[in-house]
Structure 1
Amino acid sequence: MSAPVIALVGNPNAGKSSLFNQLTGLRQKTGNFPGVTVDKKSGTWPLDAQTTATIVDLPGVYSIYPKSLDEQLVTDILANPAHPDYPDVAIVVVDASNLHRNLLLFTQIADLGVPTILALNMLDVARDEGKEVNGARLAMRLGVPVIRINARTGEGLDQVRKAVQGQLLQPTLPAKLFYDPAEEIPELIGETREQYKLDNNYLALQYLIQHDGFSFLGAEQRQGLDTLIARHDFSEIKFQANETITRYKRIAALLTEAVTQQKTDGQLTWSQKLDRVLLHPLWGYALFGLIMLLIFQAIFAWATPLQDFIDEGVAWLNGTLKETLPPGPLTDLLTDGILAGIGGILVFIPQIGFLFLLVALLEESGYMARVMVIMDRIMRKFGLNGRSVVPLISGVACAVPAIMATRSIGTRRDRLITILVTPLMSCSARLPIYTILIALVVPNERVLGLFNLQGLALMGLYLLGLLSALIAAYVLKLVLKTKERSFFIMELPTFKLPRWNNVGLTVWESVRSFVWEAGRVILAISIVLWVLANYGPGDSMQQAEDRVRAQSVGVEAAELDNRVASERLEASYAGRFGHFIEPAIRPLGYDWKIGIALLSSFAAREVFVGTMATIYSIGDGADEEGVTIRERLKAERNPTTGGPMYTEALAWSLLIFYVFAMMCMSTLAATLHETKSWKWPAIQLVYMMLLAYGAAYLTYQALS
């Protein structure tokens, strides 16, 4: 017997994801729903000693009538019993302080014939607003189990488990539909049920209203429904509006018996008092800027000790392995290839972890929703929908899920513009590049005794990415003309203290995903790069070594080893390829070694640091064991000037290049999948690379 599927459904900010974390803990995974790129969170939940259920956290929706692609997915699942994620039981999580709106979705799901449980969440918020909800009376009126829970603390989980077990053992549905369309259009509903073998009146109505959006219906079935609609002169929009009004009237009557509203003095809640400041047209932006500044300061200040520990540990392990293992190609591959490449990423785990930690705290507290509201005022001036704020903010973590998140944007033009500009937001893959280059040229000093210069530089790069995204969006708005109008409607959640278990799960999943995805790419590229850097055409590498030894008579052994290693690298396949592209990147201040790293980072931006670690490990002599990647970069000399290779001009040129460059195949693939055309990823690649090259060139020339 397959594991029962339990779906968590609810309005946005009703506490659905918190309940998901409580039920699944570490037994969860992230993927995509079958056939689409909408993010899917699923996990396992032990119901008893014999049964383990699969929990699926569906995207938040206000009703089963979708206004975006991710909302369409929910209806697509609930209206199709053959879907692999169709639930055996649906737990509808509702905000008890706003039952009138939340129960609309619940009644629709119950009417579809899905065995349902109502989970009353945020009862404390309702109590603060003077509302008392009688769960027993509500259960009698609704005809389904009603459970009082606190998704943040885990209160009521045992009752939820018992209710689910009961619904699985003997499913119960309301005695009658909350809204029966057969009362108004009996012939049309009857014909639809008979023609499509349906056993539910409300499901038949959804076939009539939403058949064009159902992925499980074929063209012939859609044409048949169009014929039925035309023959009965059925108006989908008019009927849907009438249904919604009727449901709200019946919900209001039901709540008069189940909810008691106590009189309040009209005092503002503490969330409303905070919103007067956080949503203020002046102070809201000032506080947001201050919070972002503190985040970037913390990334450097808190992560540095852990970073140094990992950096030195990798260098120590590398040196120890070289001393312990017998010399040969396999040892070199392990130390100079695999370990050097992976170590170049592991060292940045603390900074990435702190970034996800601080962002998760903002989301958990409810502040991030306020950021979206105040930023909406700016977004509209640049031609973006307010919902574009969500993908842009998500882009700070990773552009791929951020591009997928654009499915919540209703209008095609706004969605397309958001997809094209989201990669300009500095993602976490850029963080290793930023931090290592900033550490080379920006002193670790404080300004006014509070702000670290390196943290200010990092924040400046992120703000540059945001500014460039807005300017690009404005240009695209002028190019992509449309008559569509977009709207941004968002319910603000109440402020609450973050739950550390939810924050911890978010950080763990994010860091694990980053390390796993980056690690696989880096491991493969490190091996390929090591091979290309250790082998060359014919005996070219041996000839280079013989030439250096002949020209270096009397040179100390350590210096001779360095010269030999550098010349062999230059004569290798990797070196020749780097020299091939060097003329194109020389105006930016880059040499052939940096050229190799630039090309390898097209797979993923973060590979740049791992590639540099591998290149300089191979290019250095044997006396360099135990030296960290930072020290290797600092010690690199410019063969022309004899001075440091990584000057301020070169480092800032690289930093600016990576702010704008489209160096991520996964992002281009996501754009292709979402736009269903090669045209838009091609435009994205070309305009970002031209912007990166031009900005890096101007930066290098200005600072040289």
Structure 2
Amino acid sequence: MAGATQELRQAPPQPGTTGAAPAQERLPRLALIGNPNSGKTSLFNQLTGLNQKVGNFPGVTVDRKTGVAQLGGERRAEVIDLPGTYSLYPKSLDEQVIADLLYNPSSPDYPDFVVVTVDASNLRRSLLLFSQLADLGLPAILALNMTDVAAERGITIDLPTLERELGVPVVPMNARKGVGMAALRIVMAERLAAPPALRFWQPDATVQALVNEVRAHFGLHNDYLALHYAHQFQHLHFLTETDREFLARLTEKFAFDATARQAEETVGRYARINELLLDTVTVTRTERREPASNRIDKVLTHRVFGYLIFLSVLFLLFQAIFAWAQYPMDLIDRGISALSAVIQANFHGPLVRLLTEGVIAGLGGVLIFIPQIALLFAFLAVLEETGYMARVTFLMDKLMRPFGLSGKSVVPLISGLACAVPAIMGARTIESWKDRMLTIFVTPLMSCSARIPVYTVLVALVVPDEAWLGVFNMRGLVLMGLYLLGLSSALISAFILKKVLKARERSYFIMEFPVYRWPRWKNVGLTIVEKVKAFIFQAGKVIIAISVLLWVLASYGPGNRQDQAEAQVKQAAITQRWPGSELERRVASARLETSYAGTFGHVIEPAIRPLGFDWKIGIALLTSFAAREVFVGTMSTIYSVGQDADLGTVQQKLAAEKDLQGQPFFTPVRALSLLVFYVFAMQCMSTLAVTYRETKSWRWPLGQLVYMTGLAYAASLLVWQVFA
């Protein structure tokens, strides 16, 4: 055992430790790893606060969440938040990045040490992952989280004995409340992490020859890492094709049965963990009554009441999006209008018009929806923090099965309410190929937050701000109906695609419920800030850029067509005796219609006229393909150019638009036709791009584009032709 322990204490080679010294000393790098629901995300937020960013791990589309932790004084550390996992044997694409990182010391993200978060109330399960990391010889710190839950359940842990047995620092904490964070920062700052002293499991003599050859070929630092190369060589991205061929020949030569060996290892690990827990864990009392969480679950996951409660939660969300967000939205809208009016009253010229009708109009199309975006993500964060979202996932599994999806599909679908891009990436946690492809294909039909600007403007335009039955806001009811329409179309589309694929692969659904907790408002606030920043700086850049481009295209035209159109309008004004305001409106409208944008809009108008749309809406449909929310910025810019500048808000501009008979252009039927189009349409280049990256084939994104565009056109056509 002494020799084995010495072997484990040999630190793996660190990148940049050979050859010339690096030009600049980098921050110490630590990786956070732990089971799902072990408090790892709370710990990451406590360590990094707002000093965090999201990217991708090299070569894959898995989220790479990193941040900088202040350890005291000027000492800092780089923190990498790894996906939650129960084992180092990955079952999904999300978990595979852990193996790619921890088995490859040459990786640019290879950590100096790991902080393993474990659930103190379920130490037996949590220590399985720790035992695997220990046998890799990684310097580690054990963050013993949820000590408050353990205490409530009468679980007492002998910390000195546990720390002595493991040979690593053990820090008791409550990451949600920040308890124990100071001690953890001290341990990290003093670089007290060490390779665990305890060997949990060792390959037996029957595979030692295989392990020795793998170690010699790759120059590895311990037996267990070499064994994982034999287990997982087909999926480790950093291995070359030559390496894989070598390992394939080697495993065949030694008749290596990976499945049997993994089962044998798991049994051996739990036997060793049980021995450890007998010396360190004491249960001082047992629950005589059924736990409160079980009693709550009987209601929230009930086959009838569970669905009614979930619908009530959604209903509350959509009511809040209109009722609670309306006042700050009005303030922002009036502020943008007042700013434009002040600038136009004091300055004149093309650049001033570009600023007010292009840049500021586009900026207004971004800022006005911040309250609604913030509310949406606040609700989703609270549902996640309290543990209710996991119950929704379980509840919806029965509903999803007949349509060819599983309960695991619910997480991406619900995430699609925020944004389809990370939702599609989240489908990588689904093991079944069929379920994953179906989920990726139909997720864009869920109404994401980018559709909120389109929905709210059009709904507010034609639906009265009245209460139904004296309680329910009519606009909130219509908004909820649009979301349910998107969900229904996703389920029906999945059912159809299941028949087309004819896949017989069976999937299963296993999920652990987190304990119920009050939300940590700091974490909710961090989520809101992060998502609003992403909306402003990602979608906002696109919206403003397209708004400026549109203003140019809508203000200038080919040749002297605009001047000729203006002359014709002024000539007609002499006989018609229009007042000055009417003349100005008609001149602006004529110049817009003969501009580059107007010309292009007229080209596509015959294709969209059967839907009740004109050339102005056509321009907005095309520009919003970059991002759905661009629709509002486009309409604001188009009608800023074509109408009186005094009409400040987007809603006022659309309400003032008239048809050829002088009647309001945006009737309830036309607005409904446009709403239905946006419920179904694939109006997002980013979604198509991420679908391609996840499926590694153009067949799926092109199929989404053709199917959803066709569905949107057919549904909008039906609405207009039947009800107009």
What range describes the TM-score normalised by the shorter chain of this pair? over 0.9
Deviates most, 429-438 or 71-80:
71-80
Question: How big is the shift at 1:703?
Answer: 2.2
Counterpart Cα distance in 2 of 1:182 and 1:89: 28
Unaligned segments of structure 1, at least 5 residues: none
Counterpart Cα distance in 2 of 1:184 and 1:155: 47
- Is structure 2 residue 459 aligned with structure 1 residue 455? no
Provide closer, same or farther for how the CA distance between residues 161 and 562 of structure 1 changes in structure 2, counting only shifts above 3 A: same
Deviates most, 52-61 or 41-50:
41-50
Please name the residue that 1:324 is paired with.
Answer: 346
- Is structure 2 residue 109 aligned with structure 1 residue 85? yes
How is 1:322-471 mapped onto 2 (pairs within 5 angstroms)? 322-325=344-347, 327-471=348-492
| SS of equivalent residue, structure 1 residue 224 | helix
- Is structure 2 residue 171 aligned with structure 1 residue 151? no
Please name the residue that 2:663 is paired with.
Answer: 643
- Is structure 2 residue 206 aligned with structure 1 residue 177? no
Please name the residue that 1:672 is paired with.
Answer: 692
| SS of equivalent residue, structure 1 residue 612 | helix
Counterpart Cα distance in 1 of 2:558 and 2:537: 34
Counterpart Cα distance in 2 of 1:140 and 1:109: 17
1:490-539 per-position Cα deviation (integer Å, ceiling 9, x unaligned)? 10000000000000000110111011111110121111111111111111
Provide closer, same or farther for how the CA distance between residues 171 and 133 of structure 1 changes in structure 2, counting only shifts above 3 A: closer
Question: How big is the shift at 1:174?
Answer: 2.4
Counterpart Cα distance in 1 of 2:615 and 2:722: 22
- Is structure 2 residue 139 aligned with structure 1 residue 132? no
Native 8 Å contact 1:104 1:247 kept in 2:
yes
- Is structure 2 residue 324 aligned with structure 1 residue 315? no
- Is structure 2 residue 623 aligned with structure 1 residue 600? yes
Question: How big is the shift at 1:265?
Answer: 4.2
Please name the residue that 1:121 is paired with.
Answer: 145
Deviates most, 53-62 or 129-138:
129-138
1:632-672 per-position Cα deviation (integer Å, ceiling 9, x unaligned)? 11111112x32100001100000000000000000000111
- Is structure 2 residue 500 aligned with structure 1 residue 488? no
* Aligned residue pairs, count: 698
Pairing partner for 2:635 from 609, 612, 635: 612
- Is structure 2 residue 721 aligned with structure 1 residue 690? no
Question: How big is the shift at 1:176?
Answer: 4.7
Pairing partner for 2:217 from 171, 192, 195: 195
| SS of equivalent residue, structure 1 residue 3 | coil
Q: Which residue identity lines up with residue 373 of structure 1 in the other structure?
A: F
Deviates most, 170-179 or 348-357:
170-179
Provide closer, same or farther for how the CA distance between residues 279 and 416 of structure 1 changes in structure 2, counting only shifts above 3 A: same
Question: How big is the shift at 1:460?
Answer: 0.5
Native 8 Å contact 1:182 1:189 kept in 2:
no
Question: How big is the shift at 1:125?
Answer: 1.4
Deviates most, 611-620 or 48-57:
48-57
Counterpart Cα distance in 1 of 2:201 and 2:188: 25
Deviates most, 550-559 or 284-293:
550-559
1:356-385 per-position Cα deviation (integer Å, ceiling 9, x unaligned)? 111111110000000000001111111012
Counterpart Cα distance in 2 of 1:626 and 1:595: 22
Please name the residue that 1:102 is paired with.
Answer: 126
Q: After TM superposition, where is structure 1 displaced by more than 4 Å over at least 4 residues in a row?
A: none
Question: How big is the shift at 1:345?
Answer: 2.2
Native 8 Å contact 2:31 2:114 kept in 1:
yes
- Is structure 2 residue 272 aligned with structure 1 residue 250? yes
Q: Which residue identity lines up with residue 71 of structure 2 in the other structure?
A: L
1:329-377 per-position Cα deviation (integer Å, ceiling 9, x unaligned)? 1111100011111202211111111111111111100000000000011
Structure 2-normalised TM-score? 0.95
Counterpart Cα distance in 2 of 1:234 and 1:697: 61
Unaligned segments of structure 2, at least 5 residues: 1-24
Native 8 Å contact 1:318 1:626 kept in 2:
no
Counterpart Cα distance in 1 of 2:195 and 2:694: 38
Counterpart Cα distance in 2 of 1:4 and 1:450: 57
| SS of equivalent residue, structure 1 residue 154 | coil
Question: How big is the shift at 1:128?
Answer: 2.1
Q: Which residue identity lines up with residue 210 of structure 1 in the other structure?
A: Q
How is 1:487-636 mapped onto 2 (pairs within 5 angstroms)? 487-553=508-574, 554-621=577-644, 624-625=645-646, 627-636=648-657
Root mean square deviation of aligned Cα: 1.1
Pairing partner for 1:260 from 262, 279, 282: 282
Question: How big is the shift at 1:262?
Answer: 2.3
| SS of equivalent residue, structure 1 residue 46 | strand
User: Identity rate of aligned residues, in percent?
Assistant: 56
Counterpart Cα distance in 1 of 2:215 and 2:548: 60
Native 8 Å contact 1:319 1:626 kept in 2:
no
Q: Which residue identity lines up with residue 303 of structure 1 in the other structure?
A: A
Question: How big is the shift at 1:185?
Answer: 2.2
Question: How big is the shift at 1:186?
Answer: 2.0
Q: Which residue identity lines up with residue 567 of structure 1 in the other structure?
A: A
1:46-67 per-position Cα deviation (integer Å, ceiling 9, x unaligned)? 2233432111111000000011
- Is structure 2 residue 670 aligned with structure 1 residue 657? no
Provide closer, same or farther for how the CA distance between residues 301 and 171 of structure 1 changes in structure 2, counting only shifts above 3 A: closer
Question: How big is the shift at 1:266?
Answer: 2.5
Native 8 Å contact 2:140 2:196 kept in 1:
no
Pairing partner for 1:165 from 186, 189, 212: 189
Q: Which residue identity lines up with residue 382 of structure 2 in the other structure?
A: L
Provide closer, same or farther for how the CA distance between residues 265 and 599 of structure 1 changes in structure 2, counting only shifts above 3 A: closer
Counterpart Cα distance in 1 of 2:343 and 2:714: 43
- Is structure 2 residue 263 aligned with structure 1 residue 235? no
| SS of equivalent residue, structure 1 residue 118 | strand
Please name the residue that 1:57 is paired with.
Answer: 81
Please name the residue that 1:283 is paired with.
Answer: 305
Counterpart Cα distance in 2 of 1:297 and 1:356: 15
Question: How big is the shift at 1:171?
Answer: 4.8
Counterpart Cα distance in 2 of 1:175 and 1:353: 47
Q: Which residue identity lines up with residue 10 of structure 1 in the other structure?
A: G
Provide closer, same or farther for how the CA distance between residues 27 and 265 of structure 1 changes in structure 2, counting only shifts above 3 A: closer
Q: Which residue identity lines up with residue 558 of structure 1 in the other structure?
A: S
Question: How big is the shift at 1:165?
Answer: 2.8
Question: How big is the shift at 1:198?
Answer: 0.6
| SS of equivalent residue, structure 2 residue 114 | strand
Counterpart Cα distance in 1 of 2:475 and 2:31: 46
Q: Which residue identity lines up with residue 661 of structure 1 in the other structure?
A: A
| SS of equivalent residue, structure 2 residue 325 | helix
Pairing partner for 1:12 from 36, 56, 60: 36
Question: How big is the shift at 1:263?
Answer: 3.1
Q: Which residue identity lines up with residue 254 of structure 2 in the other structure?
A: H
Q: Which residue identity lines up with residue 72 of structure 1 in the other structure?
A: Q
Question: How big is the shift at 1:183?
Answer: 4.7
